[in-house]
A and B are shown apart, each in its own frame.
Chain A
């Protein structure tokens, strides 16, 4: 057991040192998680308090990222928004991971009607441009954090279902599955204990790559007014708030939350790339 951990650690060190991008992404993610957990204490001002400084003040030593049209401190708002954005993305990805991989795995294993139903659902979702579908759903069900999570989970469902189905399908007739049947395992146990754990690495990589996209979807919905409501601190809304002032030269209102959003998405994607390399060296580019 300890040798396995040691091997993993050695492989991890190899990938991290041989791949500074992944290492950078890892550090950035660690920073984001810290902000998400302790942002409320780190933030220099109350993110919701108005007129903590002059309105639309440019970045300065007292307000590093400047202030917005209500005189709120943008740095504090960017920091505090991390928790909400990550929370939405992680909940949505967890949900679609669980539901999508369970449905896909059953489809790939049982075939027949189960497979037909799952592939029809997946095809139906994929028939829409996914973001437009999300917009439609949010417009219909109303804006709340719960609804954002469910909607983002729904539009990510197909990717997990498809991967799980394909991964289970190639293993369905593997020798160790036949052996498990000979050993008296029930079909459900074979799927849950013998096949599914072997599909996890691919699914985890997908989840990590998907996380950035989930953040972007959530922020995008908020940006167009179908997500989190103001005055909540959230990157998408902040970019949207600031967009009105871009033309008049107050660039900092949109730019800093936009950069935060970009960095979060970028680091999740780079992390996903690194994980994929770690798990499947053959696809290393």
Chain B
């Protein structure tokens, strides 16, 4: 493994104030992970677990409330997001958004949309150079050149998302963050876009941070996966290993919810009882998953499990693994 990762996040937190009180919503809570150059890492978890907040911190659209974000060894987390537009790192971290109808300006043609980052981040203002570069990028995402003059409402969902991808890769970023890039698309278009994304990574050598709640998509496109629950990362590991042998009870529940096509392999679905704990001022000494965890025991209510290295490239934040080793019995 190379010594210096492309992106290194440590102890990253984002707490939002609750209007009219002193309480805080712990959207992202002391998250740490790293991403190598050229690597594709998945980030999975249910709605509201903090995935979107985490990627907005990493893309520097949001300011964090604690921790560090190192990009190519450079600490970029402390730069106010309002000033980040002028930093050289701005072009290197780009993002593809979930819903292309929302992320494309309805009054911008496809050309204007793709040219926008080239103008501001690459400093190209000459019309001809701009046209050349936009045509080149459109070709990369296989967007027919005659569509460049169209407005978003004149494009199909798949074409819109190609424009979104073209905009993101127009300034040759090193880290591309994909925030559920296919969840707003038809299934048939999803496959095409996913293949395009896989191909682009090979050709351009970008790193991906791929956010999704569609586990099949994550399995297809990522090498490593991080599982997030209630603002914390609960499990990290090579995608194939995590999918075949999940260590965290939440990961197991999540994987058991993947629909299968084989009617004979009726896997046991793990149902999670109850509601997730409130993200407002959660107790720092209780595991976030406690109460919903089918295997929780008394230690889970006394101590927050830390993310620990298990050997190989696997990490998990759960007391169960200790219990199996120490022989400490379940609470029942």
Contacts and interface: CB of A to CB of B under 8 A. Distances in A.
Interface of A: 1, 3-4, 174-176, 178-187, 194, 197-198
Given A1-B149, A181-B61, A186 B105 contact: no
Interface string B49-73: 0000000100101000000000000
A179 to B, nearest CB: 5
B39 interface: no
A184 B149 contact: no
Given A179-B167, A180-B116, A181-B61, A186 B103 contact: no
15 contacts: A1-B149, A174-B102, A176-B105, A179-B103, A180-B116, A181-B61, A181-B81, A182-B90, A183-B117, A185-B116, A186-B85, A187-B82, A194-B105, A194-B108, A198-B106
Contacts of B86: 184
Given A176-B103, A197-B107, A184 B120 contact: yes
B262 to A, nearest CB: 37
A182 B108 CA distance: 16
B307 interface: no
Contact of A176 (B56, B59, B102, B120): B102
Contacts of A3: 154
Interface size on B, as a range, is: 20 to 34
A214 B95 CA distance: 47
A69 to B, nearest CB: 56
Contact of B117 (A184, A197, A198): A184
Interface of B: 56, 59, 61, 81-82, 85-86, 90-91, 94-95, 97-99, 102-108, 116-117, 120-121, 149, 151, 154, 164, 167-168
B165 to A, nearest CB: 12
A184 B102 contact: no
Contacts of B82: 187
A187 B120 CA distance: 13
A184 B92 CA distance: 11
A198 B152 CA distance: 13
A1 B61 CA distance: 33
Nearest to A178: B61
A194 B120 CA distance: 14
A185 B120 contact: yes
Contacts of A182: 59, 61, 90, 94-95, 117, 168
Contacts of A194: 105, 108
A176 B61 contact: no
Contact of B167 (A1, A181, A183, A186): A183
B90 A184 contact: yes
Given A185-B85, A185-B116, A180 B90 contact: no
B116 A175 contact: no
A1 B102 CA distance: 22
Contact of A183 (B121, B149, B151, B154): B121
A179 B97 contact: yes
Contacts of A198: 105-107
B114 to A, nearest CB: 10
Contacts of A179: 95, 97, 103-105, 164, 167
Contacts of B99: 175
Contacts of A181: 61, 81, 85
Contacts of A184: 85-86, 90-91, 117, 120-121
The 6 closest A-B pairs by CB, nearest first: A175-B103, A184-B120, A183-B117, A175-B102, A176-B105, A184-B121
